[in-house]
Amino acid sequence: MPLSLGRLRDGLLECRYHGWRFDRTGACRAVPGLCGEEPGRRARAAEAFPVVERDGFVWVAPGEGEPEGEPFRFPCVEHPGYSTVRRAMTLSGTLHAALENTLDVPHTAFLHGGLFRGGREPVEVEVIVRQGPDRVEAEYVGEPRPPGLAGRILAPGGGVVEHTDRFILPSIAQVEYRLDTNHLLVTSAFTPVDDTTTRLHAAVTFHLRVPHRVVETIVPPLARVILAQDAKILRHQAESIERFGGEHFSSTELDVLGQHILRMLRRAERGESSEGPETATERRIRMRV
């Protein structure tokens, strides 16, 4: 029975089914109706893991022993003048597919047209791709405010935005926009559930001239629609991959981050360092958005 369905009672986690109570080490401390203060060896212990609650999320460290280092910090969540809206959902697809979807610009005008991009002739911009030991990012230079509802919230008066997308090992994706004093940062942490399912936890953090109460009212339904569109297209892609017996992708220079992410994930899976010829490199391309 999932203990996540239970509740806390007197500092112990109580199972919803039979009321057994467990302490933070996983030891069973109470079985209702059983005589005696503690159940002793007849009760099975629950497996326990180190956890940290931070930035509105609970981080779990699976495996034996204490975790190495600290969990990723969601930027700006605690900064004065910033507000944060959090969302979580399960996606069909591999970790790489989910990460690539989050950081892929070309699909937005087609899948999210009207909400984010689309509705105007494409504009040519320069893309600067930088890679370091634990991350890769793409800076889009000279991009006008993206059309659509999301762009109008970011910059009601229009203008040229500072737009950077980045991937950070092991599984963090960030989409960042700045215009004057306006700042919007979407940070997503991905957890593989199995080989074809990925769990997404996202924090939409913003500092805008628009009243934050208005934005906090608009952002949740807007985020739900955009995430639902991504989830649906990823599900269709996953079904097609299963039907045809595996992935058969093609890439062009417009896929500015996808191949970098895949190589970094494979190195991490093998336990290899990202140090190599791609470390601290920079390249520039032109594309239309």
Q: What is the mean pLDDT of residues 176-203?
A: 93
Decide if 145 contacts 161 (C-beta within 8 A).
yes
Q: Is 160 left (phi over 0), alpha (psi -120 to 50) or beta?
A: beta
Q: In CATH, what number is assigned to the domain containing residue 270?
A: 3.90.380.10
Cis peptide before 192 (omega within 30 of 0): no
Residue 7 resides in a domain: yes
Count of domains observed in the chain: 2
Residue 11 resides in a domain: yes
| 29 lies in the same domain as 128 | no
pLDDT tens-digit series, residues 239-282: 999 999 988 888 898 999 999 999 999 999 898 876 554 456 88
The domain of 37 spans 3-48
Is 34 or 31 the better-scoring residue by pLDDT? 31
What is the pLDDT, as a whole number, of residue 5?
A: 97
Q: Does the pLDDT of residue 214 top 50, yes or no? A: yes
| 39 lies in the same domain as 119 | no
pLDDT tens-digit series, residues 71-129: 999 999 989 999 998 999 999 999 999 999 999 999 988 999 877 777 778 889 999 99
CA atoms within 13 A on the CB side of 55: 24
| 44 lies in the same domain as 93 | no
Residue 59 resides in a domain: no
pLDDT tens-digit series, residues 38-62: 676 777 899 999 988 989 899 998 8
pLDDT tens-digit series, residues 130-167: 999 999 999 999 888 777 777 777 677 778 889 999 99
State how far the alpha carbon of 255 is from the alpha carbons of 77, 229, 240, 274, in Å.
Answer: 30, 20, 20, 20
Q: Does the pLDDT of residue 20 top 90, yes or no? A: yes
Residue 73 resides in a domain: no
Place of tokens 């934005």: 215
| 144 lies in the same domain as 263 | yes
State how far the alpha carbon of 204 is from the alpha carbons of 5, 88, 274, in Å.
Answer: 27, 11, 29
Return the SS3 of 276.
coil
Q: Which tokens belong to 81?
A: 């003048």
| 185 lies in the same domain as 142 | yes
Q: What is the mean pLDDT of residues 199-209?
A: 91
State percent of the chain over pLDDT 90. Answer: 55
